[in-house]
């Protein structure tokens, strides 16, 4: 129970346990617990068992593959060949892609076992899974609370030990927020570090796939598998992918200089979030890290930019879902004309409609200069501001989110996501890498601390997170209380 990839892999290679036993363990847990969590949309029971048996029967052939025999899940925004891919939306009823997303193909090439596809906010529009067509996921630490989002189903499944690791995506906090609220490690790579090919697009200039894991070492391990150039994604970087997990080194954090934006501390932070963050800062200082307060642009600008830029890209990306290419299988009578006329109205939920309308307005003739272009100009200022800070410091440190997990009632606020993600939005808009790890508990709910790094310098923030994790420890949920 609660083993990491590296721990489980060691047992597999020593033949202390078989892949079939592992998959049966997880499938049993999913059947027992997921009715309370709603973390999975699709569970690949038969396929997972078949692949586990294939590994066990051909151990010597597959043992050197990095994820051989390891059951993982993936947010239902990644295209998976012949496996239902819904993006948690009614409009994609019955949609089974004919190809795998690059990230999915990379983990399958390493013989990972894909347990299933996890729940999310519909088309990633939200920060708690509250907008999912399949209903919200629940936080395993307290099922009255949301797990965060949009990768909330992934985080909920992992926190409840319904998989060994999981994949999500981030547009402006959607990896770091749910990881923080569920007591996990969430790694958002540099934009372009990981291919977006086969990821159902939300905001194309922002979307970034990444891992959510039980440990920093697992996140580093997953990143070195999924990162790299992809000829199918012209935004993917050709820079060499380091062996992040082998390069983890606590000694390298000594004498690093970290910037702590005072504007983040001036926000209304929940008491436990602030207390645990300041405790972690002291631990870092005791380990030889230099931390200085700095000033950055008001985080409210990041909220404004995200509200305009992301919604503008949403309106463009969702235009392709016209009912003739997607969703036809969900039609009761197969009448193309009838389904075409109804699918965008009935297929999209309230939140995608709001975002499409806002984005379309921002891009419309007469308003594009006033809204979208100005938003992009401010986004450039945010990028330059953070670049200036990172030219003098090795990384930025901050709380991950202002609060612990919130409720369905909180999610009714149209700006719920922007407010929950305020501490991550600016770095996502700038394309910077970030990682969150648990900093402790507040009222028995997890809190998080994040490190934001320079472009393609994931190693430094991984080392910082790894060193702090050794001092603070992992948060492991007693899943018997779910």
**Is 173 in contact with 127 (CB distance < 8 Å)?**
yes
Number of alpha carbons in the 13 Å side-chain half-sphere of residue 411? 25
481 has catalytic annotation? no
Q: Which residue in 137, 174, 180, 375 is the catalytic one?
A: 174
C-alpha angle with apex 403: 399 to 404, nearest 5 degrees? 105
**Is 350 in contact with 133 (CB distance < 8 Å)?**
no
Could you tell me which residues come within 8 angstroms of residue 374 by beta carbon, excluding any fewer than 6 positions away? 308
Query: CA distances (Å), 241 to each of 232, 244, 245, 264, in order?
Result: 18, 8, 11, 32
C-alpha angle with apex 446: 443 to 452, nearest 5 degrees? 140
DSSP letter at 405? -
Q: Which residue in 150, 154, 180, 245 is the catalytic one?
A: 150
**CA torsion 274→278→281→283, rounded to 10°?**
-130
Extract the tokens encoding 366. 């007469």
Query: CA distances (Å), 290 to each of 216, 281, 387, 432, 459, in order?
Result: 22, 10, 19, 21, 18
Cα-Cα-Cα-Cα dihedral sign, residues 47, 38, 217, 389: positive
Phi, psi of 142 (to 5 degrees): -160, 110
Distance CA 194, CA 267 (A): 32
Query: CA distances (Å), 147 to each of 165, 316, 327, 370, in order?
Result: 16, 28, 28, 36
Q: Which residue in 51, 66, 75, 214 is the catalytic one?
A: 75
31 has catalytic annotation? no
In sequence order, what DSSP letters do the residues of 257-313 get, joined into one string?
EEEEEHHHHTS---HHHHHHHHHHHHHHHHTT-EEEEE--S-HHHHHHHIIIIIHHH
127 has catalytic annotation? no
Distance CA 318, CA 358 (A): 13
Residues annotated as part of the active site: 75, 150, 174
């Amino acid at each position: 129970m609660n083993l990491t990839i590296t721990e489980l892999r060691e047992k597999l290679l020593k033949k202390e346990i078989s892949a079939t036993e592992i998959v049966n363990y997880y499938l049993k847990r999913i059947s027992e617990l997921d009715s309370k969590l709603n973390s999975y949309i699709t569970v690949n029971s038969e396929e997972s068992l078949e692949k586990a048996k294939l590994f066990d029967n051909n151990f010597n052939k597959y043992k050197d593959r990095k994820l051989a025999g390891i059951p993982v899940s993936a947010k239902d925004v990644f295209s998976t060949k012949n496996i239902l891919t819904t993006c948690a939306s009614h409009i994609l009823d019955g949609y089974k892609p004919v190809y795998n997303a690059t990230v999915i193909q990379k983990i399958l090439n390493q013989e990972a076992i894909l347990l299933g596809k996890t729940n999310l906010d519909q088309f990633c529009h939200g920060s708690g899974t509250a907008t999912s067509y399949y209903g919200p996921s629940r936080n395993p630490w307290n099922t009255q609370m949301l797990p965060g989002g949009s990768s909330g189903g992934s985080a909920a499944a992992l926190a409840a030990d319904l998989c060994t690791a999981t994949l999500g995506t981030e547009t402006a906090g959607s990896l770091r927020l749910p990881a923080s609220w569920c007591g996990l490690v969430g790694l958002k790579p540099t934009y372009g570090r990981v291919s977006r090919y086969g990821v159902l697009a939300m905001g194309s200039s922002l979307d970034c796939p990444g891992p959510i894991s039980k440990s920093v070492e697992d996140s580093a391990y997953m990143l070195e598998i999924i990162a790299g150039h992809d000829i199918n994604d012209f935004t993917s970087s050709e820079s060499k992918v380091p062996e992040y997990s082998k390069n983890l080194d606590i000694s390298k954090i000594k004498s690093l200089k970290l910037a702590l934006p005072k504007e983040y501390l001036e926000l209304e932070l929940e008491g436990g979030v602030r207390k645990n963050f300041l405790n972690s800062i002291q631990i870092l200082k005791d380990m030889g890290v230099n931390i200085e307060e700095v000033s950055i642009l008001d985080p409210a600008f990041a909220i404004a930019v995200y509200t305009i830029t992301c919604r503008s890209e949403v309106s463009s990306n969702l235009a392709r879902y016209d009912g003739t290419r997607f969703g036809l299988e969900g039609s009761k009578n197969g009448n193309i004309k009838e389904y075409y006329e109804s699918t965008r109205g009935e297929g999209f939920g309230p939140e995608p409609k709001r975002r499409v309308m806002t984005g379309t307005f921002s891009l419309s003739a007469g308003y594009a200069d006033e809204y979208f272009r100005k938003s992009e100009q401010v986004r450039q200022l945010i990028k330059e501001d953070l670049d200036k800070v990172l030219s003098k410091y090795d990384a930025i440190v901050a709380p991950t989110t202002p609060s612990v997990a919130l409720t369905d009632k909180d999610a009714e606020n149209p700006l719920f996501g922007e407010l929950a993600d305020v501490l991550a939005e600016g770095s996502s808009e700038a394309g910077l890498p970030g990682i969150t790890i648990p900093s402790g508990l507040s009222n028995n709910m997890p809190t998080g601390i994040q490190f934001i790094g320079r472009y393609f310098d994931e190693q430094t923030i991984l080392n910082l997170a790894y060193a702090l994790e050794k001092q603070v420890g992992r948060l492991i949920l007693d899943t018997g209380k779910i």
